[in-house]
Amino acid sequence: MQKKIPITYQDVLSIIKRLLIVSEEYNVPFGEPIVMVGGTAMAAHRIRTQSYDVDLYARIFSDDVVHQVEQEFREQFGSMFKIDVTSTENIWGMIMLRDINKSEPDTTIQIDNYQYLIQKLSSEDLFLLKLDSDRKKDQDDLPAIYEKTNIDLLVKRFNIIVKWHGDRDAVLGYADSFVSAMKKFGNHNPLDVISKLNISKFMIELLYESWSNNYNE
């Protein structure tokens, strides 16, 4: 199998620009918001210096355009290179980012007379989505992402997106994972973290019961 060739953040911007150019040439929309997600967003945040694929959210796009540009850049980045574009708010895992259109601005790209805004998932969204993933590589990314944010921002965002979790039976486990991560990466007292969570009362009580074995209230 051919080894993947690293893609820098500047490469990503060149690829996005080419997507926009080809879309205009074919007179098909590449509709805003255009949001960098996954490893591409991590590169935009400088959490990683490079990625291996281009991961994007776009409200509207053409599969034919994506395929053409993907083939063009395989000459530079090898046959394993992929451009993954989705129009669903379910980026990965069970959480839908219903406000993805409000993602952080990153840069703009000028095509003819129009300036496209390119956005990126926030560090908080990246952390919370990867926290809900079972993939080892996602779990391994958590410490580096945590360094780009803080507990107050993470709790605030958790309390918003937990409502959009697609598996209500898994919310308790997800909240427990969040409490554990805050202890692991920031040495935050679990009981203090639990007190800030906006989840069902019975879940709060279960979390307190579980974590109180090791911490005094």
CA–CA distances in Å: residue 203 to residues 95, 117, 207 = 18, 40, 6
57-96 pLDDT per residue, tens: 999 999 999 999 999 999 999 999 999 999 987 766 788 8
Please report the pLDDT score of residue 216 as a whole number: 52
Q: What b/e sequence results for 94-105 when a residue is b if at least 16 CB atoms lie within 10 Å of its CB, and e otherwise? A: bbbbeebeebbe
pTM of the model: 0.92
User: Hey, is 57 helix, strand or coil?
Assistant: strand
CA–CA distances in Å: residue 109 to residues 48, 72, 142 = 22, 20, 30
User: Hey, is 69 helix, strand or coil?
Assistant: helix
20-39 pLDDT per residue, tens: 999 999 999 998 999 999 99
User: Residue 54: in which H helix or E strand, if any?
Assistant: strand 54-60
142-162 pLDDT per residue, tens: 999 999 999 999 999 999 999
Place of tokens 């993954």: 84
The type of residue at 30 is: F
User: Is residue 49 pLDDT above 90, yes or no?
Assistant: no
